[in-house]
Structure 1
Amino acid sequence: MPRQIDHENRRHLVTEAVFRLAAERGLEAVTLRDVAASAGVSMGAVQRCFRTKEEMLVFALGRLSERVEGRVRERIGSSPAQSARSRLGHTLTEVALVHPDQGAEARVWLAFLAQAAVAPSLATVLRRNYAALHTALTRLLHAALPSPTGAGELAEAAEREAHALLALADGLTAHVLVGHLDATGAINVLDRYLERLWTLPDTLPGRPTPEDQSG
Structure 2
Amino acid sequence: MPKQLDHLGRRRLIAEAVCHLADEHGLEGVTLRDVAARAQVSMGAVQRCFRTKEEMLVFALGHIGERITERVRARLVGSPAQSAGTTLGHAAAEVSLLRGEHRAEARVWLAFVAQAAVSEALAEPLRANYAAVQEMFTRLVAEVAEDTGSAGHLDPVRAARTLLALADGLTAHVLIGHLTAEEAHDILHAHLVGLWQRPAEMSRPASGTPGRRSGR
1:37 maps to 2:37 = yes
Q: What is the match of residue 172 of structure 2? A: 174
1:194 maps to 2:192 = yes
1:95 maps to 2:95 = yes
Q: What is the match of residue 159 of structure 1? A: 157
Q: What is the match of residue 182 of structure 2? A: 184
Contact residue 79 and residue 87 of structure 2 kept, 8 A:
no
**Between Structure 1 and Structure 2, how many residues are aligned?**
202
1:15 partner letter:
A
Aligned-partner SS, 2:146: coil
Q: What is the match of residue 141 of structure 1? A: 141
Describe the shift of the 1:22–1:150 C-alpha distance in structure 2 as closer, same or farther (beyond 3 A): closer
Distance 2:58 2:108 in 1: 13
Tell me which structure has the larger Cα radius of gyration. Answer: 2
TM-score (norm 2): 0.86
Describe the shift of the 1:85–1:175 C-alpha distance in structure 2 as closer, same or farther (beyond 3 A): same
Q: What is the match of residue 83 of structure 1? A: 83
Q: Which runs of 5+ in 2 are unaligned?
A: 206-216
Q: Percent identity, please.
A: 57
Q: What is the match of residue 68 of structure 1? A: 68
Contact residue 12 and residue 63 of structure 2 kept, 8 A:
no
CA RMSD of aligned residues (A): 2.3
Q: CA deviation at 1:5?
A: 4.1
Spell out, residue by residue over 1:117-159, the C-alpha distance to the aligned partner (whole angstroms, 9 max, x if none): 00001111111111122221111111011376975x64xx221
Contact residue 110 and residue 174 of structure 1 kept, 8 A:
yes
Contact residue 21 and residue 27 of structure 1 kept, 8 A:
yes
Describe the shift of the 1:195–1:41 C-alpha distance in structure 2 as closer, same or farther (beyond 3 A): same
Q: CA deviation at 1:4?
A: 8.7
TM-score (norm 1): 0.86
2:71 partner letter:
R
1:164 partner letter:
T
